[in-house]
């Protein structure tokens, strides 16, 4: 209102229209244009999400509506053989769980240990040397890890446990190498959480006579627990969605087994193998990989949402 008043008084004071000063915000079409363009750039991310949900939902719906598929069989069947119209996701799901569990068994304890060392023990110089090495590990493409699993880890396991027990393609080898892949992620996220704990807490622990280990494990880690938990959950989500290592090293062909030394195809591995071959659109095989994709999407999304929630709910804020 103040603005409008000023304008009217200014206008009445000056008789000539040339000298009239308008204090209203000038319309700048250029500015608006740029702003709208930038908004569209931001909105593209929404379109991407909508696209993923639409694509997965639409094709999965076609799959589940097919007379050859029943929902119950999909979730409880132990055979996945599209050729004879057997669609039970359990063998794929089970293989995904096994590779992920092995990977997490490697990555979580080691990643957290490395993070504690870097944040609590390492001098500035050691940190400067060690961190870049872990970053290199994180920057290696996953297909290279796949190669590593097949040409190093598998022969190693076969020498250790005997070539008769360990098949050429096996979930153990893929899982172990995947653990190495995820380790830098766990380390860097946990380390960020540990470094965010204020110095005063450590000083207080030392003043009470705690050793360095006791300070780290009983004071710093609990204080950073929300961040560390989030790191663990994100790591699980990465493991579930990891593709190339399992596609190369875990085996081609769904197999319902709990033996980590046997070949078993994971959900991601199956999608890659099927879509890498000649696939006719709108066949039931084609739609089935979208159904698997939907499951994958739901699993990773749930994990990511939980991780966000954990950070928000349990974060301790220090001044």
Partner 1 sequence: MIPARFNPQTPRRHRTGGVWSTLFLGAIIIAIVALGALLTNIMDESFGLVAIESRIDPATLERDGTLLEALDKEQLIQILTEHISAGLLRRLENDQAFEERDRGNVYALVLERVVEPEIVKTWSLTDSLLNRDAIKAEALAKYPQATLEFHAWINPAFMQMSQSSKPEFAGVRTAILGSLWTIAITIIVAFPTGVGAAIYLEEYASDTLVNRVIQTNINNLAGVPSILYGMLGLTIFVRGLEPFTSGALLGAVDTTTANGRTVLSAGLTLALLVLPLLIINAQEAIKAVPGSLREASYGLGATRWQTIWHHVLPNAMPGILTGTILAISRAIGETAPLVVVGASAFVALDPSGPFSKFTTLPIQIYQWTTRPQDQYRNLAAAAILVLLVLLLSLNAAAVLLRNRYSRKL
Residues 272, 275, 277, 283, CA torsion sign: positive
| 21, 38, 105, 204: which one binds partner 1 (CB under 8 A) | 38
245-264 footprint of partner 1 as x/- string (CB under 8 A): --xx----------------
Q: Which is nearer to partner 1, 49 or 78 (CB)?
A: 49
Residues 298, 302, 303, 304, CA torsion sign: positive
Which of the ranges 14-22, 78-86, 96-104, 209-217 carries the binding residues for partner 1, by CB under 8 A? 209-217
Which of the ranges 69-77, 106-114, 159-167, 196-204 carries the binding residues for partner 1, by CB under 8 A? 106-114
Which of the ranges 34-42, 65-73, 85-93, 193-201 carries the binding residues for partner 1, by CB under 8 A? 34-42
Give the integer Cα–Cα distance in Å for 266 and 292.
Answer: 10
Q: Do 76 and 211 contact (CB within 8 A), yes or no?
A: no
The answer to whether residue 152 forms part of the interface with partner 1 (CB under 8 A) is: yes
Nearest distance from C-beta of residue 246 to partner 1, angstroms: 10
Three-class secondary structure of residue 68 per DSSP: coil
Which of the ranges 13-21, 75-83, 87-95, 268-276 carries the binding residues for partner 1, by CB under 8 A? 268-276
The answer to whether residue 130 forms part of the interface with partner 1 (CB under 8 A) is: yes
The answer to whether residue 21 forms part of the interface with partner 1 (CB under 8 A) is: no
Calculate ∠ Cα 45-267-244, nearest 5°.
Answer: 75
Give the integer Cα–Cα distance in Å for 280 and 16.
Answer: 77
Give the integer Cα–Cα distance in Å for 263 and 246.
Answer: 10
Give the integer Cα–Cα distance in Å for 296 and 319.
Answer: 40
Instruction: Report 223-242 residues binding partner 1 (CB under 8 A).
Output: 234, 237, 240-242
H helix count then E strand count, the chain: 15, 2
Q: Which is nearer to partner 1, 78 or 279 (CB)?
A: 279
Q: Do 230 and 310 contact (CB within 8 A), yes or no?
A: yes
Give the integer Cα–Cα distance in Å for 223 and 217.
Answer: 10
The answer to whether residue 78 forms part of the interface with partner 1 (CB under 8 A) is: no
Q: Do 260 and 98 contact (CB within 8 A), yes or no?
A: yes
| 92, 104, 118, 185: which one binds partner 1 (CB under 8 A) | 118
Instruction: Report 41-60 residues binding partner 1 (CB under 8 A).
Output: 41-46, 48-49, 51-52, 55-56, 59
| 204, 211, 314, 318: which one binds partner 1 (CB under 8 A) | 211
Three-class secondary structure of residue 264 per DSSP: coil
Q: Which is nearer to partner 1, 79 or 218 (CB)?
A: 218
Residues binding partner 1: number (CB under 8 A): 83
């Amino acid at each position: 209102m103040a603005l409008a008043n000023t304008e009217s008084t200014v206008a009445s004071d000056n008789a000539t229209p040339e000298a009239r000063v308008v204090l209203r915000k000038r319309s700048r079409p250029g500015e608006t244009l740029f702003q709208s363009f930038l908004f569209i750039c931001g909105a593209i991310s929404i379109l991407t999400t909508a696209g993923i949900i639409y694509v997965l939902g639409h094709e999965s719906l076609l799959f589940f509506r097919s007379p050859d598929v029943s929902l119950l069989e999909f979730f409880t069947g132990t055979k996945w053989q599209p050729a004879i119209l057997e669609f039970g996701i359990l063998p794929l799901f089970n293989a995904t769980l096994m590779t992920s569990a092995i990977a997490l068994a490697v990555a979580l304890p080691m990643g957290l240990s490395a993070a504690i060392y870097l944040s609590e023990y390492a001098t500035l110089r050691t940190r400067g040397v060690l961190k870049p090495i872990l970053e290199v590990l994180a920057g290696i493409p996953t297909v290279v890890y796949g190669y590593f699993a097949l040409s190093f880890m598998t022969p190693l396991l076969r020498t250790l446990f005997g070539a008769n027990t360990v098949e050429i393609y096996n979930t153990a080898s893929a899982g172990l190498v995947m653990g190495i892949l995820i380790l830098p992620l766990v380390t860097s996220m946990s380390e960020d959480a540990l470094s965010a704990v204020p110095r005063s807490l450590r000083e207080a622990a030392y003043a009470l006579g705690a050793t360095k280990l006791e300070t780290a494990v009983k004071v710093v880690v609990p204080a950073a627990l929300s961040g560390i938990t989030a790191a663990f959950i994100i790591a699980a989500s990465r493991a579930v969605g990891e593709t190339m290592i399992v596609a190369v090293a875990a085996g081609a062909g769904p197999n319902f087994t709990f033996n980590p030394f046997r070949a078993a195809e994971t959900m991601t591995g199956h999608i890659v193998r099927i879509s890498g071959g000649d696939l006719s659109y709108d066949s039931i095989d084609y739609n089935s990989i979208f159904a698997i994709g939907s499951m994958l999407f739901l699993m990773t999304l749930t994990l990511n949402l939980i991780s966000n929630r954990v950070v928000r709910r349990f974060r301790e804020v220090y001044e």
